[in-house]
A and B are shown apart, each in its own frame.
Chain A
Protein backbone atom coordinates (compact mmCIF):
# COMPACT_ATOMS: atom_id res chain seq x y z
CA UNK A 1 0.00 0.00 0.00
CA UNK A 2 2.79 2.36 0.98
CA UNK A 3 4.54 1.62 -2.31
CA UNK A 4 1.33 2.24 -4.24
CA UNK A 5 0.97 5.67 -2.61
CA UNK A 6 4.58 6.51 -3.55
CA UNK A 7 3.92 5.39 -7.11
CA UNK A 8 0.71 7.40 -7.57
CA UNK A 9 2.26 10.41 -5.87
CA UNK A 10 5.28 10.34 -8.16
CA UNK A 11 3.37 9.68 -11.39
CA UNK A 12 0.33 11.93 -11.06
CA UNK A 13 0.01 14.08 -7.94
CA UNK A 14 3.56 15.40 -7.83
CA UNK A 15 4.12 15.03 -11.54
CA UNK A 16 7.73 15.85 -12.27
CA UNK A 17 6.99 18.25 -15.13
CA UNK A 18 3.76 19.94 -14.14
CA UNK A 19 4.22 20.42 -10.41
CA UNK A 20 7.94 20.00 -9.73
CA UNK A 21 9.12 22.00 -12.78
CA UNK A 22 11.86 19.55 -13.73
CA UNK A 23 12.65 18.45 -17.27
CA UNK A 24 11.01 21.51 -18.81
CA UNK A 25 13.62 21.82 -21.58
CA UNK A 26 12.75 18.49 -23.30
CA UNK A 27 9.11 19.16 -22.43
CA UNK A 28 9.21 22.28 -24.61
CA UNK A 29 11.94 21.19 -27.00
CA UNK A 30 10.98 17.69 -28.15
CA UNK A 31 7.22 17.74 -27.83
CA UNK A 32 6.27 18.92 -31.29
CA UNK A 33 5.68 15.39 -32.62
CA UNK A 34 4.18 12.57 -30.59
CA UNK A 35 6.54 9.82 -31.80
CA UNK A 36 9.54 11.93 -30.78
CA UNK A 37 7.92 12.61 -27.41
CA UNK A 38 7.45 8.88 -26.80
CA UNK A 39 11.05 8.14 -27.87
CA UNK A 40 12.38 10.78 -25.47
CA UNK A 41 10.08 9.47 -22.75
CA UNK A 42 11.38 5.93 -23.20
CA UNK A 43 15.03 7.01 -23.12
CA UNK A 44 14.51 9.19 -20.05
CA UNK A 45 12.55 6.41 -18.33
CA UNK A 46 15.48 4.05 -18.71
CA UNK A 47 18.08 6.58 -17.54
CA UNK A 48 16.00 7.77 -14.55
CA UNK A 49 15.38 4.19 -13.47
CA UNK A 50 19.02 3.07 -13.54
CA UNK A 51 20.46 6.41 -12.39
CA UNK A 52 18.33 6.65 -9.25
CA UNK A 53 19.17 3.09 -8.20
CA UNK A 54 22.88 3.72 -8.83
CA UNK A 55 22.67 7.07 -7.05
CA UNK A 56 21.01 5.41 -4.07
CA UNK A 57 23.69 2.71 -3.89
CA UNK A 58 26.59 5.15 -4.31
CA UNK A 59 25.19 7.45 -1.64
CA UNK A 60 24.49 4.73 0.94
CA UNK A 61 27.48 2.48 0.30
CA UNK A 62 30.22 4.91 -0.72
CA UNK A 63 29.53 8.54 0.21
CA UNK A 64 28.02 7.97 3.67
CA UNK A 65 30.68 5.48 4.93
CA UNK A 66 33.45 7.78 3.69
CA UNK A 67 31.62 10.83 5.15
CA UNK A 68 31.85 12.79 1.92
CA UNK A 69 28.13 13.48 1.40
CA UNK A 70 28.98 16.92 0.03
CA UNK A 71 30.36 15.23 -3.09
CA UNK A 72 26.78 14.22 -3.94
CA UNK A 73 26.27 16.52 -6.94
CA UNK A 74 29.62 15.68 -8.54
CA UNK A 75 29.18 11.93 -7.98
CA UNK A 76 25.63 11.86 -9.30
CA UNK A 77 26.37 13.88 -12.42
CA UNK A 78 29.29 11.58 -13.22
CA UNK A 79 27.00 8.56 -12.84
CA UNK A 80 24.39 10.13 -15.12
CA UNK A 81 26.89 11.25 -17.76
CA UNK A 82 28.60 7.88 -17.95
CA UNK A 83 25.27 6.06 -17.93
CA UNK A 84 24.03 8.12 -20.87
CA UNK A 85 27.31 7.48 -22.68
CA UNK A 86 26.96 3.75 -21.94
CA UNK A 87 23.36 3.59 -23.17
CA UNK A 88 24.44 5.37 -26.33
CA UNK A 89 27.24 2.87 -26.99
CA UNK A 90 25.08 -0.20 -26.29
CA UNK A 91 22.26 1.04 -28.50
CA UNK A 92 24.66 1.93 -31.29
CA UNK A 93 26.08 -1.57 -31.25
CA UNK A 94 23.03 -3.77 -30.70
CA UNK A 95 20.07 -1.77 -31.95
CA UNK A 96 21.12 0.73 -34.62
CA UNK A 97 17.49 1.39 -35.61
CA UNK A 98 16.50 2.49 -32.11
CA UNK A 99 19.78 4.41 -31.82
CA UNK A 100 18.95 6.31 -34.97
CA UNK A 101 15.50 7.31 -33.80
CA UNK A 102 16.73 8.38 -30.35
CA UNK A 103 20.24 9.44 -31.34
CA UNK A 104 19.73 13.19 -31.14
CA UNK A 105 18.04 13.14 -27.76
CA UNK A 106 20.40 10.78 -25.97
CA UNK A 107 23.22 13.20 -25.11
CA UNK A 108 20.63 15.78 -24.02
CA UNK A 109 19.49 13.49 -21.21
CA UNK A 110 22.71 14.27 -19.29
CA UNK A 111 21.48 17.83 -18.80
CA UNK A 112 17.89 16.83 -18.15
CA UNK A 113 17.20 18.08 -14.65
CA UNK A 114 14.52 15.43 -14.15
CA UNK A 115 17.24 12.79 -13.86
CA UNK A 116 19.42 14.61 -11.32
CA UNK A 117 16.28 15.86 -9.58
CA UNK A 118 14.95 12.33 -9.07
CA UNK A 119 18.34 11.10 -7.84
CA UNK A 120 18.48 13.96 -5.33
CA UNK A 121 14.85 13.46 -4.26
CA UNK A 122 15.49 9.81 -3.44
CA UNK A 123 18.23 10.89 -1.04
CA UNK A 124 16.36 13.80 0.58
CA UNK A 125 13.21 11.70 1.05
CA UNK A 126 15.32 8.95 2.67
CA UNK A 127 13.68 6.18 0.68
CA UNK A 128 14.67 2.51 1.00
CA UNK A 129 15.77 0.56 -2.08
CA UNK A 130 12.31 -0.84 -3.00
CA UNK A 131 10.77 2.61 -2.44
CA UNK A 132 13.47 4.12 -4.65
CA UNK A 133 12.64 1.69 -7.46
CA UNK A 134 8.89 2.35 -7.25
CA UNK A 135 9.46 6.11 -7.04
CA UNK A 136 11.73 6.07 -10.11
CA UNK A 137 9.18 4.07 -12.11
CA UNK A 138 6.40 6.45 -11.05
CA UNK A 139 8.40 9.54 -11.97
CA UNK A 140 9.31 8.21 -15.41
CA UNK A 141 5.76 7.07 -16.20
CA UNK A 142 4.50 10.51 -15.19
CA UNK A 143 7.15 12.13 -17.40
CA UNK A 144 6.30 10.00 -20.45
CA UNK A 145 2.55 10.43 -19.94
CA UNK A 146 2.70 14.22 -19.76
CA UNK A 147 5.14 14.40 -22.69
CA UNK A 148 2.76 12.33 -24.80
CA UNK A 149 -0.44 14.22 -23.90
CA UNK A 150 1.31 17.54 -24.44
CA UNK A 151 2.73 16.49 -27.82
CA UNK A 152 -0.69 15.47 -29.15
CA UNK A 153 -2.08 18.85 -28.11
CA UNK A 154 0.84 20.61 -29.78
CA UNK A 155 0.28 18.73 -33.03
CA UNK A 156 -3.21 20.25 -33.07
CA UNK A 157 -1.92 23.69 -32.03
CA UNK A 158 0.20 23.81 -35.20
CA UNK A 159 -2.98 24.27 -37.23
CA UNK A 160 -4.79 26.57 -34.82
CA UNK A 161 -5.21 30.24 -35.67
CA UNK A 162 -2.88 31.93 -33.16
CA UNK A 163 -1.50 35.46 -33.15
CA UNK A 164 1.93 35.48 -34.74
CA UNK A 165 3.78 36.48 -31.58
CA UNK A 166 2.21 33.77 -29.44
CA UNK A 167 2.94 30.95 -31.90
CA UNK A 168 5.34 28.23 -30.73
CA UNK A 169 6.67 28.35 -27.18
CA UNK A 170 4.44 31.09 -25.67
CA UNK A 171 1.17 29.31 -26.52
CA UNK A 172 2.75 25.99 -25.53
CA UNK A 173 3.51 27.41 -22.08
CA UNK A 174 -0.04 28.70 -21.70
CA UNK A 175 -1.32 25.25 -22.71
CA UNK A 176 0.98 23.73 -20.09
CA UNK A 177 -0.60 26.07 -17.52
CA UNK A 178 -4.05 24.67 -18.33
CA UNK A 179 -2.67 21.13 -18.15
CA UNK A 180 -1.12 21.88 -14.75
CA UNK A 181 -4.54 23.13 -13.63
CA UNK A 182 -6.05 19.80 -14.67
CA UNK A 183 -3.36 17.88 -12.78
CA UNK A 184 -4.21 19.97 -9.71
CA UNK A 185 -7.48 18.08 -9.61
CA UNK A 186 -5.58 14.84 -9.02
CA UNK A 187 -4.26 16.25 -5.75
CA UNK A 188 -6.95 14.51 -3.70
CA UNK A 189 -5.94 11.11 -5.04
CA UNK A 190 -3.33 10.33 -2.40
Chain B
Protein backbone atom coordinates (compact mmCIF):
# COMPACT_ATOMS: atom_id res chain seq x y z
CA UNK B 1 0.00 0.00 0.00
CA UNK B 2 1.50 3.27 -1.10
CA UNK B 3 1.06 6.34 1.02
CA UNK B 4 -0.04 8.26 -2.07
CA UNK B 5 -3.00 5.93 -2.56
CA UNK B 6 -4.04 6.42 1.05
CA UNK B 7 -3.69 10.17 0.65
CA UNK B 8 -5.95 10.04 -2.42
CA UNK B 9 -8.59 8.07 -0.50
CA UNK B 10 -8.38 10.66 2.27
CA UNK B 11 -8.76 13.71 0.04
CA UNK B 12 -11.51 12.16 -2.14
CA UNK B 13 -13.96 12.47 0.74
CA UNK B 14 -13.05 16.10 1.30
CA UNK B 15 -13.05 17.45 -2.27
CA UNK B 16 -13.87 15.19 -5.21
CA UNK B 17 -16.61 13.22 -3.46
CA UNK B 18 -17.63 15.69 -0.77
CA UNK B 19 -20.76 14.09 0.73
CA UNK B 20 -22.68 17.35 1.04
CA UNK B 21 -21.84 19.43 -2.02
CA UNK B 22 -21.17 16.67 -4.56
CA UNK B 23 -22.97 13.49 -3.47
CA UNK B 24 -25.89 15.22 -1.68
CA UNK B 25 -25.91 12.64 1.12
CA UNK B 26 -26.70 13.25 4.76
CA UNK B 27 -28.88 16.21 3.91
CA UNK B 28 -31.11 16.05 6.99
CA UNK B 29 -28.48 16.97 9.60
CA UNK B 30 -26.89 19.35 7.07
CA UNK B 31 -30.09 21.37 7.16
CA UNK B 32 -31.31 20.58 10.67
CA UNK B 33 -28.35 21.25 12.95
CA UNK B 34 -26.63 24.06 11.07
CA UNK B 35 -28.26 26.94 12.92
CA UNK B 36 -24.98 27.44 14.75
CA UNK B 37 -21.31 26.68 14.09
CA UNK B 38 -20.99 24.90 17.45
CA UNK B 39 -23.80 22.48 16.58
CA UNK B 40 -22.29 21.84 13.14
CA UNK B 41 -18.91 20.92 14.62
CA UNK B 42 -20.56 18.76 17.28
CA UNK B 43 -22.52 16.85 14.66
CA UNK B 44 -19.40 16.59 12.47
CA UNK B 45 -17.34 15.08 15.28
CA UNK B 46 -20.16 12.65 16.08
CA UNK B 47 -20.38 11.50 12.48
CA UNK B 48 -16.59 11.12 12.19
CA UNK B 49 -16.63 8.94 15.33
CA UNK B 50 -19.41 6.67 14.05
CA UNK B 51 -18.13 6.57 10.47
CA UNK B 52 -14.56 5.70 11.49
CA UNK B 53 -15.57 2.91 13.87
CA UNK B 54 -18.32 1.47 11.65
CA UNK B 55 -16.00 1.41 8.63
CA UNK B 56 -13.25 -0.35 10.61
CA UNK B 57 -15.61 -2.91 12.21
CA UNK B 58 -17.36 -3.65 8.92
CA UNK B 59 -14.12 -4.06 6.99
CA UNK B 60 -12.93 -6.50 9.67
CA UNK B 61 -16.05 -8.68 9.53
CA UNK B 62 -16.77 -8.32 5.82
CA UNK B 63 -15.57 -11.84 5.02
CA UNK B 64 -17.58 -13.52 7.77
CA UNK B 65 -20.99 -11.94 7.11
CA UNK B 66 -23.21 -13.56 4.50
CA UNK B 67 -24.21 -11.36 1.62
CA UNK B 68 -27.98 -11.68 2.17
CA UNK B 69 -27.96 -10.39 5.75
CA UNK B 70 -25.22 -7.79 5.41
CA UNK B 71 -27.51 -4.72 5.48
CA UNK B 72 -29.25 -5.69 8.77
CA UNK B 73 -25.85 -6.54 10.29
CA UNK B 74 -24.37 -3.22 9.17
CA UNK B 75 -27.31 -1.24 10.47
CA UNK B 76 -27.21 -2.91 13.89
CA UNK B 77 -23.49 -2.15 14.20
CA UNK B 78 -24.15 1.47 13.25
CA UNK B 79 -27.12 1.74 15.62
CA UNK B 80 -25.04 0.38 18.51
CA UNK B 81 -22.28 2.90 17.82
CA UNK B 82 -24.82 5.72 17.69
CA UNK B 83 -26.31 4.57 21.02
CA UNK B 84 -22.80 4.67 22.52
CA UNK B 85 -22.29 8.18 21.15
CA UNK B 86 -25.64 9.27 22.54
CA UNK B 87 -24.78 8.02 26.04
CA UNK B 88 -21.34 9.60 25.84
CA UNK B 89 -22.77 12.98 24.80
CA UNK B 90 -25.43 12.81 27.48
CA UNK B 91 -22.73 12.25 30.07
CA UNK B 92 -20.12 14.79 29.00
CA UNK B 93 -21.63 17.40 26.67
CA UNK B 94 -25.18 17.76 27.92
CA UNK B 95 -25.62 21.27 26.46
CA UNK B 96 -24.70 20.16 22.95
CA UNK B 97 -26.79 17.04 23.40
CA UNK B 98 -29.87 19.09 24.20
CA UNK B 99 -29.45 21.49 21.28
CA UNK B 100 -29.32 18.72 18.67
CA UNK B 101 -31.32 16.08 20.47
CA UNK B 102 -33.54 14.83 17.62
CA UNK B 103 -30.69 14.46 15.20
CA UNK B 104 -28.36 12.25 17.25
CA UNK B 105 -30.35 8.98 16.95
CA UNK B 106 -30.87 9.90 13.31
CA UNK B 107 -27.11 9.51 12.66
CA UNK B 108 -28.09 5.82 12.38
CA UNK B 109 -29.96 6.48 9.15
CA UNK B 110 -27.46 9.01 7.79
CA UNK B 111 -26.97 7.77 4.25
CA UNK B 112 -23.25 8.59 4.31
CA UNK B 113 -22.52 5.97 6.95
CA UNK B 114 -24.44 3.05 5.45
CA UNK B 115 -23.36 4.25 2.00
CA UNK B 116 -19.65 4.09 2.89
CA UNK B 117 -20.16 0.73 4.60
CA UNK B 118 -21.70 -0.61 1.39
CA UNK B 119 -19.50 1.14 -1.14
CA UNK B 120 -16.12 1.08 0.58
CA UNK B 121 -15.72 -0.81 3.86
CA UNK B 122 -17.34 -4.01 2.59
CA UNK B 123 -14.72 -4.18 -0.19
CA UNK B 124 -11.53 -2.85 1.41
CA UNK B 125 -9.22 -3.59 4.33
CA UNK B 126 -9.40 -1.89 7.74
CA UNK B 127 -6.60 0.65 7.19
CA UNK B 128 -8.04 1.97 3.94
CA UNK B 129 -11.55 1.93 5.39
CA UNK B 130 -10.44 3.89 8.45
CA UNK B 131 -8.86 6.55 6.23
CA UNK B 132 -11.92 6.64 3.99
CA UNK B 133 -14.14 7.08 7.07
CA UNK B 134 -12.08 9.96 8.44
CA UNK B 135 -11.85 11.64 5.02
CA UNK B 136 -15.57 11.41 4.37
CA UNK B 137 -16.31 12.53 7.93
CA UNK B 138 -14.06 15.58 7.60
CA UNK B 139 -15.64 16.40 4.23
CA UNK B 140 -19.04 16.19 5.89
CA UNK B 141 -17.92 18.40 8.78
CA UNK B 142 -16.48 21.02 6.41
CA UNK B 143 -19.80 21.06 4.54
CA UNK B 144 -21.78 21.49 7.76
CA UNK B 145 -19.38 24.19 8.95
CA UNK B 146 -19.72 26.17 5.70
CA UNK B 147 -23.53 26.10 5.86
CA UNK B 148 -23.62 26.91 9.58
CA UNK B 149 -21.11 29.76 9.14
CA UNK B 150 -23.35 31.65 6.72
CA UNK B 151 -26.59 30.79 8.51
CA UNK B 152 -25.37 31.85 11.93
CA UNK B 153 -23.61 34.97 10.65
CA UNK B 154 -26.54 36.18 8.52
CA UNK B 155 -29.27 34.96 10.86
CA UNK B 156 -27.96 36.23 14.20
CA UNK B 157 -24.94 38.35 13.36
CA UNK B 158 -22.70 36.13 15.46
CA UNK B 159 -20.20 33.31 14.93
CA UNK B 160 -20.04 30.65 17.66
CA UNK B 161 -21.58 33.13 20.09
CA UNK B 162 -19.24 36.07 19.29
CA UNK B 163 -21.22 39.03 17.98
CA UNK B 164 -19.71 40.15 14.64
CA UNK B 165 -22.32 42.79 13.85
CA UNK B 166 -25.34 43.99 15.88
CA UNK B 167 -28.25 41.57 15.94
CA UNK B 168 -30.66 44.28 14.68
CA UNK B 169 -29.05 44.04 11.24
CA UNK B 170 -29.36 40.25 11.08
CA UNK B 171 -31.83 38.46 8.79
CA UNK B 172 -33.65 36.05 11.14
CA UNK B 173 -35.06 34.02 8.24
CA UNK B 174 -31.63 32.40 7.87
CA UNK B 175 -32.09 30.57 11.16
CA UNK B 176 -35.27 28.92 9.83
CA UNK B 177 -35.95 26.17 7.27
CA UNK B 178 -36.09 28.71 4.44
CA UNK B 179 -32.57 29.93 5.14
CA UNK B 180 -31.31 26.36 5.43
CA UNK B 181 -32.53 25.32 1.98
CA UNK B 182 -31.42 28.63 0.44
CA UNK B 183 -27.90 28.55 1.91
CA UNK B 184 -27.31 24.92 0.90
CA UNK B 185 -28.68 25.55 -2.61
CA UNK B 186 -26.47 28.58 -3.22
CA UNK B 187 -23.36 26.93 -1.75
CA UNK B 188 -23.95 23.79 -3.84
CA UNK B 189 -24.33 25.98 -6.93
CA UNK B 190 -21.05 27.74 -6.17
CA UNK B 191 -19.34 24.37 -5.65
CA UNK B 192 -20.66 23.36 -9.09
CA UNK B 193 -19.32 26.57 -10.67
CA UNK B 194 -15.88 25.60 -9.41
CA UNK B 195 -16.03 21.96 -10.56
CA UNK B 196 -17.55 22.97 -13.93
CA UNK B 197 -14.73 25.46 -14.42
CA UNK B 198 -12.16 22.76 -13.64
CA UNK B 199 -13.87 20.42 -16.12
CA UNK B 200 -13.86 23.14 -18.80
CA UNK B 201 -10.16 23.83 -18.29
CA UNK B 202 -9.36 20.13 -18.53
CA UNK B 203 -11.43 19.73 -21.70
CA UNK B 204 -9.76 22.78 -23.25
CA UNK B 205 -6.33 21.36 -22.39
CA UNK B 206 -7.22 18.00 -23.93
CA UNK B 207 -8.52 19.68 -27.07
CA UNK B 208 -5.37 21.77 -27.31
CA UNK B 209 -3.23 18.64 -26.91
CA UNK B 210 -5.13 16.86 -29.72
CA UNK B 211 -4.85 19.93 -31.95
CA UNK B 212 -1.13 20.14 -31.25
CA UNK B 213 -0.69 16.48 -32.17
CA UNK B 214 -2.59 17.00 -35.41
CA UNK B 215 -0.51 20.01 -36.30
CA UNK B 216 2.65 18.05 -35.59
CA UNK B 217 1.51 15.16 -37.78
CA UNK B 218 0.64 17.54 -40.57
CA UNK B 219 3.97 19.28 -40.27
CA UNK B 220 5.70 15.88 -40.58
CA UNK B 221 3.61 15.10 -43.67
CA UNK B 222 4.67 18.40 -45.15
CA UNK B 223 8.32 17.56 -44.51
CA UNK B 224 7.97 14.17 -46.20
CA UNK B 225 6.27 15.75 -49.18
Contacts and interface: CB of A to CB of B under 8 A. Distances in A.
Interface residues of A, number: 46
Contact of B196 (A20, A107, A165, A174): A165
B89 interface: no
A169 interface: yes
Contact of B82 (A73, A112, A166): A73
Contact of B105 (A21, A110, A120): A120
Given A172-B185, A174-B186, A74 B83 contact: yes
B154 interface: no
B188 interface: yes
A23 interface: yes
A163 B186 CA distance: 12
Given A74-B80, A111-B109, A116-B106, A184 B178 contact: yes
Nearest to A111: B109
Interface in B94-151: 102, 105-106, 108-111, 114
Interface in A106-144: 107, 110-113, 115-117, 120-121, 124
Given A25-B111, A28-B24, A116-B108, A18 B177 contact: yes
A23 B182 contact: no
Interface in B70-105: 71-72, 75-76, 79-80, 82-83, 86-87, 102, 105
B105 A173 contact: no
Contact of A113 (B75, B109, B177, B192): B109
Given A25-B25, A70-B83, A170-B189, A110 B177 contact: no
B31 interface: yes
B176 interface: yes
B189 A72 contact: no
Contacts of B186: 170, 174
Interface in A63-99: 70-74, 77-78, 81-82
Given A22-B106, A25-B25, A173 B185 contact: yes
Interface size class of B (residues with CB under 8 A): 35 or more
A119 B82 CA distance: 16
Given A19-B177, A21-B28, A72 B114 contact: no
B189 A111 contact: no
A111 B114 CA distance: 8
The B contact surface, by secondary structure, is: helix
B189 A177 contact: no
Contacts of A54: none
B60 interface: no
B184 interface: yes
Contacts of B25: 25
Contact of A171 (B105, B177, B185): B185
B28 A173 contact: no
Contact of A73 (B105, B180, B192): B105
Given A24-B28, A70-B87, A176 B185 contact: yes
B159 interface: no
A62 interface: no
A85 to B, nearest CB: 8
Given A20-B102, A25-B25, A111-B109, 20 more contacts: A21-B177, A24-B27, A25-B27, A71-B83, A73-B79, A73-B82, A73-B86, A74-B80, A77-B76, A78-B75, A81-B71, A111-B110, A111-B114, A120-B105, A164-B192, A171-B189, A173-B181, A173-B184, A173-B185, A177-B181
12 contacts: A23-B28, A25-B25, A73-B86, A74-B76, A78-B72, A110-B75, A116-B108, A165-B192, A166-B185, A170-B185, A173-B185, A176-B185
